[in-house]
Structure 1
Amino acid sequence: MSKEKKLKKPIVSFILLTNIIFWPLFCLVGVTKMLGLSTWLFVVVHCISSWASTFAFAILFKKIYPGQSFIQFVKSKFKHKIKVSVLLSVSTIQALIFLTIMLIVLSKSEVDSIFTLSSWGMLLFYFFKTLLSGPFGEELGWRGFALLELQKKHSPLKASIIIGFWWGLWHLPIWFTTGFTGIDLMKYILFFMISIMSTTILMAAFYNLNQNLIIPIIIHHNFNFFIGIINGNLSDLIMYNAILYGIAAVLIIFINPKKVLYGKKEKSLLYGNPTVM
C-alpha cells in the first residue's frame, strides 16, 4: 500500500479551499435572507457558513498529516489545562476595551439604551449564537492549524500577521453587506483589517502561553459578542475596536511575555507535537 503524498503548500491549500467552501455557503445565507425564510433557518445556515475553515481543514487533513487521526488532532488542541493567569489577562484586556467603547458611545449617543438586546433571553441566545458561529467554527483551522503551522518557519508575530491578513480577507464578501459604499466602505475595511490583525496577535501571544484552543475561541467570541451588543454606529464601533485592540497588540508586542511572539523560545511550547496519533 503506497503512502499518501503530503501537501507541499498546506496553508495555501487550506486558505483556497476555505474560500471555495465559504462563498457558496455565504450566497445561501443571502438567499435565505432575501426569501424571508424562517429566522431559525437563517441562523442555522449562517452558523454552518462560518465553519468553512473547519470543513476545509477536515477535508485536507489526511494530506497534511498522513496517517494521523483527525479526532485525536482536535483533542490534542484542548488537552492542556487552562491557566487562570492567561484567562484573567485575556478577560481583563477585552473587558477594558468593551467598557471604554461603551463609555465613548454612551457619551455621544442619544438613544434610550446603550445595548442592542432588550432581554436576558435575547442576550443568552445571542451569546450562544455568536459562540457557535465564528469562534467554534473558525478557530480549529485558522489558529489550531494555520497559525501553528506557520510558526514552524516564522516567528509567532510574523505568523500572526500573515494569518491575520488572510483571515481578514476571508471576510471580504461580508464587507459588502454592511451597506457602506465609497470612502465609508474603504474606512470600514481599513479599520476591520486593523482589528482582525491586532486580535490575531493577541490570540497568538496568549495561545502560545497556554496551548489550549479555548483561549483563541474566548478572544474571538468576546470580540464578536461585545461589538454586537453595543447600540452604536457600526463604522464607529469598528474604528474604536481597531484603535483599542491595536494599542493592546502593540503593548503585547513590546512586553512579549515569556518571548512567545519573537526571540528565543522552545519550539515545543509554540506548537506542540504535530505527530499526534
Structure 2
Amino acid sequence: MNLPAIWAIYLYEMKRFFRTLMESLLSPVISTSLYFVVFGAAIGSRIDQVEGVSYGAFIVPGLIMLSVMTQSISNASFGIYFPKFIGTIFELLSAPVNFLEIVLGYVGAAATKSLLIGVVILITAGFFVEIQIMHPWAMMAFLLLTCISFSLFGFIIGIWANNFQQLQLIPLLVITPLVFLGGAFYSISMLPENWQSVALFNPVVYLVSGFRWSFFGVADVGVGWSLLAIGVFTAMCMAVVWWIFKTGYRIKS
C-alpha cells in the first residue's frame, strides 16, 4: 500500500476544499436555515408531532442525508472529472500507484468533506430545535457509511461524465427526488397503504429510516434492512469502480 501517494491525493483534494471554506460551509448553513423556515414554520405549524417527535426535529436526519448524499456525489465526481478534463489523469495513471490507492485518495477526501458538512448541518439544526441522539455511535456509523458509499457513486459518475453538465445530472434529477420521496420530511406511514408499498422500492427510504432511528429510536423499516441496503450499495459501487479500472472505461480513451 503506497500510503504517501494516498496522502498526496487526499491532501490535494482537501486543500481545494479549504480554499473555498466559507462557500463550502456557508451554503449548507443557509440551506438548512431556509428548510427550517419553510418546513419547520409553514408545515410544522400544522403538524405538531410525527411518531412522537416534534416535526422540526423529525426532519433533521432527512436534511442531513439530503446534503450528505448530494455533496458526496458532487465532491467525488468533480474531483476525478477535473483531472480527466485537463489531461493530468494520465500522469496519475502512469505513476506507481494502483487503482485502490487512487480511489482511497479521492473517495476519502470527498467523504471527509461531506462528513464535515453533515456535522455543520447538525450543529446548525441545534439552533432551531432541540435534538437528542439516542444512538450516537449508530448515527456516526450511518453517516460515515453514507459519505463513503455516495462518494464512491460520485467517483463513478465523474468517470462516466463527458461534460460538466452531466456531473449535475444524477444529483439533481435522481438523488434529490429520491430523497424527497424517501421519507426525508415525513414518515412513509403517513402515506396511503398502496403508496407505502411503492415507497419501499426507493433505496433512500432505508438510509433515511436507519439514520432517523439512530436519533429518535423510530424507523419506517427495520434497522437491519437499512444496514443491508447501504452495505449492498457500497459493494455494488466498489465492484463498478474495480471494473472501470480493469477495463479502462473512459479513462484510457
> TM-score scaled to structure 2, two decimals?
0.33
TM-score by length of 1: 0.31
